[in-house]
Amino acid sequence: MEDHEKLKAAIATVVFLQEEIKKKSISIHRLRGLLFGATTEKTEQVIGETRGGERATGKVADRKQTNKDGKGKPSGHGRNGAAAYTGARKVHTQHPTLHGGDSCPECTKGRVYPLAEPETLVRITGVAPLGATVYENDRLRCNLCGEVFCAPLQKRQG
């Protein structure tokens, strides 16, 4: 019976959240507060020390941002690459008119060859639970003029 009540409460929560999202009247900040509670305390302010043993002041300016080399700002831009979506459906798109070894349509003297890395695009579907599709589009490069030809993006399905 206890499991039944927990499951019932979880389903009610999901239904409530879906209704709030449908209304589009709730902000991400408020939604995060509803799900995880208010974040009123920081660990540094409660404990008083950081992991390195130095005293924490709680000021953002005191925190030094570094990249992997230990210098300057951190590398990257905070977004996940296509490899992060391991459960995503993968769709491989070939170029409709060009194939490896064909004449270059730009300079007409060179030949196009496939590049090792395809152009990747991740489309996230906003349905609970979130789903993603990774599109890998062929890229062909001319060996003479260097022009790169990408397969066109597929239209959204469904």
Instruction: Encode pLDDT of 53-67 as tens digits.
Output: 555 444 444 444 555
Distance (Å, whole) CA 117 – CA 139: 8
As a whole number, mean pLDDT of residues 80-97 equals 83
The predicted structure's pLDDT at residue 12: 86
Whole-number mean pLDDT of the chain?
76
Q: What is the mean pLDDT of residues 11-23?
A: 80
Whether 126 shows a pLDDT value over 80: the answer reads no
Q: Are 141 and 119 in contact (CB under 8 A)?
A: no
Instruction: Provide the Cα torsion 81, 86, 91, 94; round to 10°.
Output: 60
pLDDT of residue 132: 84
